[in-house]
Amino acid sequence: MAMISRGSKRVYIEGDDLDSLTALPISVKHQIQERLSMEEAARMSILSRPWRLVWSSIPKLVFSSQFCQRKPLIDVIDTILLQHNAAIKTFLLDISSIPPPKHSVIDQWMLLLSRNGIMYLTLQNLQNAAPYILPSCMYDVELESLCLANCIFKPPCSFRGFHKLKSLSLIKVVLLLDNDIAASFLWMPYLVILQVNACSGFPNAKIYAPRLSQVYFLTRRSETLDLGHYMDCRKLKAVRLVSSKENQEKAVNLTYLLNCWSEIHDFAMDSYYLKSFATEAERLLAYLNSLKVMTLYEFDFDDEDQTFSLLRMLIISPNLNDLRLVLSSKKRNVGMEVNVVNHFEGPSYRTLGVLKLESLKVKNFHGSRTEMLFVKFIFASAPSLLKSTIFIEDVESVDQSEYLKITKELMGFPRASPTLKMCMIGDASKLGILTQEGSFHHGM
């Protein structure tokens, strides 16, 4: 039986228990070690000789940022890889602490992995660290998942895509594509998830991915993203489009894209994409019957194009369940507005779009007249609304009497839903905020 000595954390395992652990199938032993840190998994190898074999054959190696703070890091990883005697299917490495003159050592590790069955590769690199150039040997590997951060993606001229890749995540990656590659489609027939965050050189990349289900584009550059390359991705379920404020002079026509993306379930976009949608929305050929969640970033109720685009999106989304608005954080002269037009009085707006809405979240709420009218419209038009969460922007700078006035007015709005619960949150950092990536993070 296992015993713990008093005043010590060391576990003593008697013969019968040790035998039962040793008798476990090798796949179960690997699962046990994969749930441990690299240090803990290494310590397990001292239990018995069979467990040493488990340690040297584990298919998943994770060298986290915490692990990579140790010295001498390169010697430690070299030793682990040299002692490994089986296929390495999953490999995660934080290369931030490895200086550029030593990047050739990483190249050697990549060459070893390319010959050893690697399927899931993640290379993490801090933003202020020197970018790492992914070596040519990795472009011939049949990867299923590739995640690169602060790296340089420079494939050989013969590269035509990862034919078995299912997930591709590029964060602050520089793509240096040969002219022949840029002119043709990258063949990724099994790709399901594509995430591109603040990359350069990507706008004109063409990807053939008929199974693509999730697309996340967060562009912060002066180039225009050509979404037309993804028109044939008719199985898209989740799309997130966010651009920098100073880029993209060319308007993006989302009408045809949304007509093609009929199965979209979760759609998020910022004010640029929404505004470009203003004059095109009326020409949509079909309703977005599958759309359940919609998130809008940097939304400005003072911009009529954005307001009309929002209303049109609500009209063509009859099954929408969750609406999330991250308002522009610019300061407003609340209470000093004049000649405010109520764009939410149209009868068509009260009969379509929000009948199945169950949740409304608004971040950076200022309490302007237009914002109040919108919330009033939603409350009066959504019979299925269960919860409304309003995050007041910079509550410390808001006069307490003004805060109470906003709260009292919101609480007094007529409600079509008898079960609606409204939550006013002043300190979003403690109780949760909608991030620009669109996920809702909970605190306490």
What is the value of pTM for the model shown?
0.80
Strands 185-187 and 206-208, bridge-based pairing: parallel
CB atoms within 10 A of CB 307: 20
Rounded Cα gap, residues 398 and 401, in angstroms:
8
User: pLDDT band at residue 9, thresholds of 50, 70 and 90?
Assistant: very low
Asked if 297 contacts 272 with a C-beta cutoff of 8 angstroms, the reply is no
Strand-pair partners of 242: 218
Q: Judge whether residue 350 has pLDDT over 90.
A: no
Res 118: pLDDT: 96
Q: Judge whether residue 190 has pLDDT over 90.
A: yes
> What residues contact 74, with CB distance under 8 A and at least 6 apart?
98, 102, 105
Q: Judge whether residue 121 has pLDDT over 50.
A: yes
Res 4: pLDDT: 36
Asked if 91 contacts 115 with a C-beta cutoff of 8 angstroms, the reply is no
Closest CA to 229 of 251, 262, 260: 260
The interaxial angle of helices 369-381 and 400-411, nearest 10 deg, is 30
In Å, the largest CA–CA distance within the chain is 84
Distance separating the N- and C-terminal Cα atoms of the chain: 40
User: What pLDDT, in 10s, does the model give residues 304-335?
Assistant: 888 888 888 888 899 999 999 999 876 555 55
Q: Virtual CA dihedral for 346, 351, 354, 356, nearest 10 degrees?
A: 170
Res 40: pLDDT: 67
User: What pLDDT, in 10s, does the model give residues 74-88?
Assistant: 998 998 898 888 899
Q: Judge whether residue 56 has pLDDT over 90.
A: no
Average pLDDT over residues 131-139: 96
Q: Judge whether residue 177 has pLDDT over 60.
A: yes
Q: Judge whether residue 433 has pLDDT over 60.
A: no
Rounded Cα gap, residues 206 and 203, in angstroms:
9
Res 49: pLDDT: 65
Strand-pair partners of 81: none
In 156-288, where do the E strands start and end?
Answer: 167-171, 174-175, 185-187, 193-197, 206-208, 214-219, 238-243, 266-270
Rounded Cα gap, residues 378 and 54, in angstroms:
58
What is the pLDDT of the chain when averaged over all its residues? 79
Q: 162 or 344: whose pLDDT is higher?
A: 162
Res 353: pLDDT: 64
Which helix (DSSP H) or strand (DSSP E) does residue 120 occupy?
A: strand 120-124
User: What pLDDT, in 10s, does the model give residues 198-215?
Assistant: 888 775 667 889 999 999
Q: How far is CA 421 from the centre of its chain?
A: 29
Average pLDDT over residues 29-35: 71
Give me the helices (H) in 344-420, please: 369-381, 400-411
Average pLDDT over residues 86-106: 93
Res 424: pLDDT: 84
Which of 84-93, 236-245, 382-391 is predicted with the least confidence, judged by mean pLDDT?
236-245
Closest CA to 372 of 411, 339, 338, 346: 411
Asked if 259 contacts 288 with a C-beta cutoff of 8 angstroms, the reply is no
